[in-house]
Amino acid sequence: MTQHDRLLIIDFGSQVTQLIARRLRELNVYCEIHPYQNVTDAFLKEFAPRAIIFSGGPDSVTREGSPRPPQAAYELGVPILGICYGQQVMMQDLGGKVEAGQSHTAEFGRAYVTPKEERIDLLTGWFLDGTGREQVWMSHGDHVSELAPGFAVYATSPGAPFAITADLEHRFYAVQFHPEVHHTPNGKTLYENFVRDAGFKGDWTMDAYRDEAVAKIREQIGDKKVICALSGGVDSSVAAALIHEAVGEQLTCVFVDHGLLRLNEAEEVVGMFRDHMNLSVIHAQEQDLFLGELEGVSDPETKRKIIGRLFIDVFQKYADQIEGAEFLAQGTLYPDVIESVSFSGGPSVTIKSHHNVGGLPEKMGLKLVEPLRELFKDEVRALGHELGLPASFIGRHPFPGPGLAIRCPGEITRDKLEILRKADAVYIDQIRKHGLYDEIWQAFAAILPMRTVGVMGDGRTYDYALALRAVTSVDGMTADYYPFSHEFLGETSTRIINEVKGINRVFYDCTSKPPGTIELE
Ligand code: XMP
């Protein structure tokens, strides 16, 4: 198997460490994030990085016992880039000085750096737009007050006389700002220069990954059988397509239809996998079971619990029919498995509780296959593309496991679901027609537990009200409502009321997250 050049990101607890990894992956560089506590001498030897990046972090290097990399990192002879706290750590470790925060040297937010006379390769492509400066994003209280021996300054900002410094002989680079964030517009170039200097060939592509992953899956599974819960989402779909490429008929997918899917969704998903990709898919038609148990339930948490429990039961029932299955496939992604730095003691593993089949592997004695564990979402999409999944499918907005149940506050009835499906389809059609689908992170309609009075033709109506939701987001953790034009909203409202019997009023939800959540329940 190919051994990619690897870059190690030592995490000191910055909120934006993951962005460093994403910027590097965009440059086709394979990197991993590891919390500083785990980076021992033995780990470094085993990992054998071609370059290292020290992330930012919330601590102060002036505090005794603050996080440090192992001394061995400096002795590997590979380039190191220190960012913010990482810069300060590097300076102090190598014989410079850092002073604790003072108001006149602290900088938060946008700042501008200007270059010194001597230019270095790290800054190739910087300072070219005629203004003679570059916008960067700062977030520091402490500052370097004396450079370590061997370092020189190559750019400054008003609050950071040592904004960009380097020891060219050792290829140690230290910057006070965050090149990984969006508000450092030319940050990607800096990373590109850094990895080029370190000799990365840019060999981390989804094309290459596909072949390696296939080989690895074959080795893991041998001639055994695998089962996979298809949700219709991008992650489980790409995982299934990849595993199918590796072991073909040994994979069986189970698509659980809980009666809470969108218009034509089950047919589209099952049709695509079964007819176009030749996967063996069991379409578990369990609408009656789910809707039956949900009857009369209006508490959001109770709904979620019922759906989660039934999902596991149903999946297990179908999986039991597949004789000799030893593996369970899951579309776990890299962000789900990155250990985060915890300052309340020990590293903690963040695993999303959303995985619908959580707990199943132990219960059924199955081993896990997780072929996307090393990938970020953008990479999963690129891989899906490589595997021949249609672009319209890969670019789909996220859809929650509990489906329309959490878009139907109050009691769920078949009538309401029917109305909601039609209204949601018109709304999404409007968004696509106006070319807005890809600009929006997630959009959907929700049917409200209220009826309002209207007048249509000469008659009075007393029908349901509908809420439209559309948000922009990066990861669903925070979100902003999408600023549709009034024309769009007016046109969409008219279309929904004209085309969907049962709705006579439409609201637009303009709550961001926080304080709201994306879903209504
Ligand atoms: P909230 O409503 O928590 O949603 O702001 C954030 C994102 O997560 C999705 N979501 C879920 N996805 N199972 C899932 O697979 C769930 O139980 C679940 N609840 C919320 C939601 O659609 C949004 O993208």
Residue tagged 């369990």 (tokens): 286
Q: Which fold has domain 6-198?
A: Rossmann fold (3.40.50)
CATH 3.40.50.620 range(s) for the chain read 206-394
Residues 365-373: what's their mean pLDDT? 93
Q: Among the atoms of ligand 1, which is closest to the Cα of residue 308? A: 17
**CATH 3.30.300.10 domain span(s) along the chain:** 414-508
User: Hey, which of 235, 306, 354 would you mutate to test ligand 1's pocket, going by the most ligand atoms within 8 Å of its Cβ?
Assistant: 354
Q: Where in the chain do CATH 3.40.50.880 domains reside?
A: 6-198
| CA-nearest residue, atom 20 of ligand 1 | 400
Closest ligand 1 atom to the C-alpha of 477?
A: 6
Q: Tell me, what's the pLDDT at 343? A: 62
Catalytic residues: 84, 178, 180
Mean pLDDT is highest, among 72-81, 272-281, 313-322, 357-366, for 72-81
Which residue, among 481, 488, 495, 496, has the nearest Cα to 420 in the 3D structure? Answer: 496
Rounded CA separation 311/286 (Å):
10
- Fold classification of 414-508 (topology level): GMP Synthetase; Chain A, domain 3 (3.30.300)
Q: Percentage of the chain surpassing pLDDT 90?
A: 85
The half-sphere exposure of 261 on its side-chain side, counting CA atoms within 13 A, is 21
Please tell me the residue having the least CA distance from ligand 1 atom 22: 400
pLDDT in tens, 373-400: 999 999 999 999 999 999 989 999 999 9
Distance, CA of 21 to CA of 472 (rounded, Å): 22
Nearest ligand 1 atom, CA 354:
13
Q: Which residue has the higher pLDDT, 357 or 487?
A: 487
pLDDT (tens digit, 9 = 90+) per residue, 191-239?
A: 999 999 999 999 999 999 999 999 999 999 999 999 999 988 999 999 9
The answer to whether residues 157 and 176 touch, using CB atoms and an 8 Å cutoff, is yes
Q: How far is the CA of 385 from the centre of ligand 1 (A)?
A: 24
CA of 521 to the centre of ligand 1 (A): 9
What local confidence, expressed as pLDDT, does residue 41 receive?
97
Tell me what pLDDT residue 338 has: 86
Q: What is the DSSP letter of 513?
A: B
Whether 419 contacts 447, CB under 8 Å:
yes
Burial of 256 (0-12, 13-18, 19+ CB in 10 A): buried
**Does position 353 have pLDDT exceeding 50, yes or no?**
no
Cα distance between residue 238 and residue 396, in whole Å: 13
Burial per residue of 9-39, b for 16 or more beta-carbon CB atoms within 10 angstroms, e otherwise: bbbbbbebbbbbbbbbbebbbbbebbbbeeb
> 206-394: CATH homologous superfamily?
HUPs (3.40.50.620)
**171-189 pLDDT tens trace:** 999 999 999 998 999 999 9
Residues lining ligand 1, CB < 6 A? 354, 398, 400-402, 442, 476, 513, 517-519
pLDDT in tens, 123-159: 999 999 999 999 999 988 888 999 999 999 999 998 8
Q: Is 438 exposed, middle or buried (0-12, 13-18, 19+ CB in 10 A)?
A: exposed
Q: Which atom of ligand 1 is nearest to the CA of 442?
A: 24
The residue nearest atom 7 of ligand 1, judged by CA position, is: 476
In this predicted structure, what is the pLDDT of residue 342? Answer: 65
Mean pLDDT in residue range 93-102: 91
Q: What pTM was computed for the model?
A: 0.86
Q: Tell me how far the alpha carbon of residue 352 lies from the centroid of ligand 1, in angstroms.
A: 10
Distance 400 CA to ligand 1 centre (A): 5
Q: How crowded is the C-beta side of 367, counted as CA atoms within 13 Å?
A: 11
pLDDT at 345 over 70: no
Write the burial class of residue 80 (CB in 10 Å: 0-12 exposed, 13-18 middle, 19+ buried): buried
